[in-house]
Amino acid sequence: GAGVSQSPSNKVTEKGKDVELRCDPISGHTALYWYRQSLGQGLEFLIYFQGNSAPDKSGLPSDRFSAERTGGSVSTLTIQRTQQEDSAVYLCASSLSAIAGGNEQFFGPGTRLTVL
């Protein structure tokens, strides 16, 4: 596809369940980013990948959050034992490189997660 795609677009889950969110970046983009956007808030940085490695995991809110990227392409963000405060829109973005400054980040439409 031409843009960043994310799935599912919406996810409703019960407190305590695990969820997996998927991001398919633009072909050829080596950098991939995950953000969280809560109602009325800006974008909160979670983690980014340069290739398959994640140099900066400092934004992950807790050890219930993890992410992986294999083959330098698709990434999954996993939230274990979900809590109600995890409810948010999870946005993924990709760019040509995370190293070169000023590179435009292209965002997907997001996954809206609701934890009941």
Pick 27 or 58: Cβ nearer another protein = 58
- Residue 42 in contact with another protein, rule: CB under 8 A: yes
Residue 40 exposed, middle or buried by CB count within 10 Å (0-12, 13-18, 19+): exposed
Number of residues that bind another protein (CB under 8 A): 23
87 binds another protein (CB under 8 A): no
Taking the least distance from each CB to another protein, the nearer of 42 and 71 is: 42
Q: Considering Cα of 55, then 11, then 25, then 105, what sign does the dihedral take?
A: negative
φ and ψ at residue 14, rounded to 5 degrees = -95, 145
**Which stretches of the chain bind another protein, using CB under 8 A?**
4, 33, 35, 40-43, 45, 48, 56, 91, 93, 98-99, 101-102, 104-110
